[in-house]
Protein backbone atom coordinates (compact mmCIF):
# COMPACT_ATOMS: atom_id res chain seq x y z
CA UNK A 1 0.00 0.00 0.00
CA UNK A 2 2.72 2.64 0.79
CA UNK A 3 4.35 2.09 -2.61
CA UNK A 4 0.97 2.28 -4.35
CA UNK A 5 0.17 5.56 -2.57
CA UNK A 6 3.62 6.92 -3.36
CA UNK A 7 3.25 6.11 -7.06
CA UNK A 8 -0.17 7.75 -7.16
CA UNK A 9 0.99 10.79 -5.22
CA UNK A 10 3.98 11.17 -7.55
CA UNK A 11 1.51 11.74 -10.40
CA UNK A 12 -0.11 14.65 -8.51
CA UNK A 13 1.04 18.23 -8.05
CA UNK A 14 1.02 20.38 -4.94
CA UNK A 15 -1.58 22.88 -6.17
CA UNK A 16 -4.23 20.20 -6.69
CA UNK A 17 -3.43 18.46 -3.40
CA UNK A 18 -3.59 21.75 -1.51
CA UNK A 19 -7.03 22.48 -3.01
CA UNK A 20 -8.28 19.12 -1.74
CA UNK A 21 -6.82 19.64 1.73
CA UNK A 22 -8.23 23.17 1.89
CA UNK A 23 -11.69 21.78 1.13
CA UNK A 24 -11.17 19.22 3.91
CA UNK A 25 -10.33 22.03 6.36
CA UNK A 26 -6.59 21.27 6.43
CA UNK A 27 -4.97 24.50 5.21
CA UNK A 28 -2.10 24.11 7.70
CA UNK A 29 -0.27 21.61 5.54
CA UNK A 30 2.41 23.70 3.80
CA UNK A 31 5.97 24.12 5.01
CA UNK A 32 7.40 27.66 5.04
CA UNK A 33 7.85 29.08 1.54
CA UNK A 34 11.55 29.68 2.28
CA UNK A 35 12.07 25.92 1.93
CA UNK A 36 12.76 25.51 -1.77
CA UNK A 37 14.08 22.91 -4.22
CA UNK A 38 17.75 22.58 -5.00
CA UNK A 39 16.66 21.67 -8.54
CA UNK A 40 13.37 23.20 -9.72
CA UNK A 41 12.82 20.37 -12.21
CA UNK A 42 12.60 17.64 -9.56
CA UNK A 43 9.58 16.56 -7.54
CA UNK A 44 9.51 14.43 -4.42
CA UNK A 45 6.79 12.18 -3.03
CA UNK A 46 6.64 9.46 -0.41
CA UNK A 47 6.25 8.59 3.27
CA UNK A 48 8.23 10.72 5.68
CA UNK A 49 10.92 9.48 8.04
CA UNK A 50 11.57 12.26 10.51
CA UNK A 51 14.49 13.23 12.71
CA UNK A 52 15.88 16.29 14.41
CA UNK A 53 19.15 17.66 15.73
CA UNK A 54 20.76 20.05 18.16
CA UNK A 55 23.80 22.26 18.44
CA UNK A 56 26.48 20.76 20.70
CA UNK A 57 29.78 22.62 20.56
CA UNK A 58 31.26 20.20 23.09
CA UNK A 59 30.78 17.26 20.72
CA UNK A 60 33.85 15.77 19.11
CA UNK A 61 34.20 15.27 15.37
CA UNK A 62 33.68 11.56 15.96
CA UNK A 63 30.51 12.18 18.01
CA UNK A 64 28.92 14.27 15.29
CA UNK A 65 29.87 11.94 12.45
CA UNK A 66 28.76 8.83 14.35
CA UNK A 67 25.37 10.45 14.93
CA UNK A 68 25.08 11.53 11.29
CA UNK A 69 26.12 8.18 9.83
CA UNK A 70 23.54 6.64 12.16
CA UNK A 71 20.90 8.61 10.24
CA UNK A 72 22.30 7.37 6.94
CA UNK A 73 22.31 3.79 8.24
CA UNK A 74 18.83 3.72 9.79
CA UNK A 75 16.82 5.67 7.19
CA UNK A 76 14.37 3.20 5.60
CA UNK A 77 14.43 2.69 1.84
CA UNK A 78 11.52 4.25 -0.02
CA UNK A 79 11.13 7.06 2.51
CA UNK A 80 11.55 10.83 2.33
CA UNK A 81 13.89 12.10 5.03
CA UNK A 82 12.53 15.18 6.82
CA UNK A 83 14.76 17.03 9.30
CA UNK A 84 14.21 19.78 11.86
CA UNK A 85 17.83 20.65 12.71
CA UNK A 86 17.07 23.48 15.16
CA UNK A 87 20.01 25.31 13.59
CA UNK A 88 20.53 28.04 10.99
CA UNK A 89 24.30 27.87 10.54
CA UNK A 90 25.54 24.51 9.24
CA UNK A 91 24.72 22.38 6.21
CA UNK A 92 22.65 19.32 7.08
CA UNK A 93 23.16 17.60 3.73
CA UNK A 94 26.17 17.22 1.44
CA UNK A 95 27.34 15.29 -1.58
CA UNK A 96 28.61 12.07 0.07
CA UNK A 97 25.50 11.82 2.23
CA UNK A 98 23.21 12.43 -0.75
CA UNK A 99 24.99 9.75 -2.79
CA UNK A 100 24.76 7.32 0.13
CA UNK A 101 21.03 7.91 0.66
CA UNK A 102 20.30 7.76 -3.06
CA UNK A 103 22.13 4.43 -3.31
CA UNK A 104 20.07 3.12 -0.37
CA UNK A 105 16.78 3.96 -2.09
CA UNK A 106 15.86 7.06 -0.09
CA UNK A 107 13.58 9.14 -2.29
CA UNK A 108 14.85 12.59 -1.22
CA UNK A 109 15.33 15.03 1.63
CA UNK A 110 13.50 17.98 3.17
CA UNK A 111 15.33 20.08 5.76
CA UNK A 112 14.48 23.25 7.65
CA UNK A 113 18.16 24.07 7.37
CA UNK A 114 21.22 24.07 5.15
CA UNK A 115 22.75 22.27 2.20
CA UNK A 116 26.23 22.25 0.68
CA UNK A 117 28.02 20.60 -2.28
CA UNK A 118 25.15 21.95 -4.32
CA UNK A 119 26.55 21.38 -7.82
CA UNK A 120 27.40 17.75 -7.01
CA UNK A 121 23.89 17.04 -5.70
CA UNK A 122 22.24 18.74 -8.67
CA UNK A 123 24.20 16.48 -11.01
CA UNK A 124 23.01 13.49 -8.97
CA UNK A 125 19.36 14.46 -9.68
CA UNK A 126 18.38 13.55 -6.11
CA UNK A 127 15.66 15.86 -4.71
CA UNK A 128 16.66 18.15 -1.85
CA UNK A 129 14.41 20.87 -0.42
CA UNK A 130 16.32 23.25 1.85
CA UNK A 131 16.26 26.69 3.48
CA UNK A 132 19.77 28.04 2.81
CA UNK A 133 23.18 27.19 1.33
CA UNK A 134 26.50 27.23 3.18
CA UNK A 135 29.85 25.46 2.94
CA UNK A 136 29.91 25.02 6.76
CA UNK A 137 29.58 21.40 7.95
CA UNK A 138 28.25 19.86 11.18
CA UNK A 139 31.55 18.39 12.42
CA UNK A 140 32.15 19.20 16.07
CA UNK A 141 29.06 21.41 16.09
CA UNK A 142 25.74 19.63 15.49
CA UNK A 143 24.31 16.27 16.57
CA UNK A 144 21.49 14.43 14.80
CA UNK A 145 18.95 12.88 17.18
CA UNK A 146 15.29 11.98 17.59
CA UNK A 147 15.35 9.45 14.75
CA UNK A 148 11.78 8.62 13.75
CA UNK A 149 10.27 11.04 16.30
CA UNK A 150 7.67 13.68 15.35
CA UNK A 151 8.99 17.13 14.40
CA UNK A 152 7.56 20.54 13.61
CA UNK A 153 8.57 22.78 10.71
CA UNK A 154 6.97 26.19 10.72
CA UNK A 155 3.44 25.55 12.00
CA UNK A 156 3.19 22.03 10.55
CA UNK A 157 3.65 18.92 12.67
CA UNK A 158 5.15 15.96 10.79
CA UNK A 159 5.25 12.36 11.96
CA UNK A 160 7.05 9.41 10.44
CA UNK A 161 4.59 7.81 8.01
CA UNK A 162 2.94 11.06 6.94
CA UNK A 163 3.19 11.73 3.22
CA UNK A 164 5.32 14.42 1.59
CA UNK A 165 4.69 15.98 -1.81
CA UNK A 166 7.20 18.63 -2.89
CA UNK A 167 7.70 20.44 -6.18
CA UNK A 168 8.80 23.85 -7.39
CA UNK A 169 5.72 25.44 -5.76
CA UNK A 170 6.47 24.16 -2.25
CA UNK A 171 6.42 21.30 0.25
CA UNK A 172 3.13 19.81 1.44
CA UNK A 173 2.47 17.33 4.28
CA UNK A 174 -0.45 14.89 4.23
CA UNK A 175 -1.24 13.13 7.54
CA UNK A 176 -0.96 9.37 7.11
CA UNK A 177 -4.58 8.76 8.10
CA UNK A 178 -5.79 11.09 5.34
CA UNK A 179 -3.44 10.03 2.57
CA UNK A 180 -5.71 7.59 0.72
CA UNK A 181 -8.68 9.98 0.79
CA UNK A 182 -6.63 13.03 -0.22
CA UNK A 183 -4.92 11.25 -3.10
CA UNK A 184 -8.20 9.80 -4.40
CA UNK A 185 -9.89 13.21 -4.30
CA UNK A 186 -6.87 14.80 -6.01
CA UNK A 187 -7.01 12.26 -8.81
CA UNK A 188 -10.69 13.13 -9.33
CA UNK A 189 -9.95 16.87 -9.39
CA UNK A 190 -7.13 16.42 -11.88
CA UNK A 191 -9.49 14.50 -14.16
CA UNK A 192 -12.09 17.28 -13.86
CA UNK A 193 -9.40 19.87 -14.62
CA UNK A 194 -8.54 18.01 -17.82
CA UNK A 195 -12.18 18.15 -18.90
CA UNK A 196 -12.32 21.89 -18.07
CA UNK A 197 -9.10 22.50 -19.99
CA UNK A 198 -10.48 20.70 -23.03
CA UNK A 199 -13.61 22.86 -23.02
CA UNK A 200 -11.57 26.06 -22.71
CA UNK A 201 -9.22 25.06 -25.52
CA UNK A 202 -12.26 24.22 -27.66
CA UNK A 203 -13.46 27.80 -27.27
CA UNK A 204 -15.89 27.70 -24.33
CA UNK A 205 -16.25 30.98 -22.47
CA UNK A 206 -14.24 30.71 -19.21
CA UNK A 207 -17.17 31.73 -17.01
CA UNK A 208 -19.44 29.23 -18.73
CA UNK A 209 -16.75 26.60 -18.25
CA UNK A 210 -16.62 27.44 -14.55
CA UNK A 211 -20.41 27.17 -14.26
CA UNK A 212 -20.26 23.75 -15.93
CA UNK A 213 -17.38 22.29 -13.94
CA UNK A 214 -17.46 24.40 -10.75
CA UNK A 215 -13.68 24.64 -10.58
CA UNK A 216 -10.92 26.77 -12.06
| 31 closest CA partner among 113, 89, 107 | 113
CA-to-CA distance for 169 and 38, rounded, in angstroms? 12
Give the three-class secondary structure for 2. helix
In angstroms, the CA 156 to CA 161 distance is 15
Instruction: Indicate if 196 and 155 belong to the same structural domain.
Output: no
Q: Which residues are registered as beta bridge partners of 142?
A: 55
| Nearest alpha-carbon partner for 178 in 51, 9, 38 | 9
* Tens of pLDDT, residues 110-131: 999 999 999 999 999 999 999 9
Regarding whether 170 and 189 lie in a shared domain, the answer is no
Q: Are residues 109 and 20 in the same domain?
A: yes
Do 167 and 187 lie in one domain? The reply is no
Check: CB of residue 113 under 8 Å from CB of residue 131.
yes
Domain residue limits at 8: 2-177
Q: Is the pLDDT of residue 1 over 70?
A: no
Identify whether residues 105 and 208 lie together within a single domain: no
Question: For the chain, what's the residue count?
Answer: 216
**What pLDDT shows up at residue 193?**
74
Mean confidence (pLDDT) of the chain: 95
- For residue 181, name the pLDDT band (cuts at 50, 70, 90): very high
- Residue 150, classified by CB atoms within 10 Å of its CB into exposed (0-12), middle (13-18) or buried (19+), is middle
Dist. CA 122–CA 112, nearest whole Å = 19
Question: What are the residues whose beta carbons fall under 8 Å from the beta carbon of 123, sequence distance 6 or more?
Answer: none
Number of compact structural domains in the chain: 2
Mean local confidence (pLDDT), 2-25: 94
Residues 111, 206, single domain; the answer is no
- Residue 89 vs residue 2, higher pLDDT: 89
Q: Are 68 and 93 in contact (CB under 8 A)?
A: no
- 176 and 162 Cβ atoms separated by less than 8 Å: yes
Q: Are residues 200 and 129 in the same domain?
A: no
- Same domain for 192 and 161: no
Give how far Cα 129 sits from Cα of 66, 100, 165, 193, Å. Answer: 24, 17, 11, 28
CA dihedral 75, 81, 86, 87 (to 10 degrees): 100
Q: What is the CATH number of the domain that holds 164?
A: 3.50.30.40
Give the percent of the chain with pLDDT over 90. Answer: 86
Rounded Cα gap, residues 216 and 197, in angstroms: 9
As a whole number of angstroms, the distance between CA 192 and CA 216 comes to 10
| Cβ–Cβ under 8 Å, residues 113 and 90 | yes
Q: Do 80 and 146 sit in the same domain of this protein?
A: yes
pLDDT tens profile 132-180: 999 999 999 999 999 999 999 999 999 999 999 999 999 999 999 999 9
Using a pLDDT cut of 70, give the percent of the chain over it: 99
Amino acid sequence: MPQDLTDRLSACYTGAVFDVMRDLGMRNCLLPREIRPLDDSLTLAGPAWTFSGRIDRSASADDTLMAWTGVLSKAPGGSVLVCQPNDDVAAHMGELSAETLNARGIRGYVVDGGNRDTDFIRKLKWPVFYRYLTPADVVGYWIADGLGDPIKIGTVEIATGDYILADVDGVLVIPAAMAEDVISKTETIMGDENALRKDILNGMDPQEAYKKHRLF
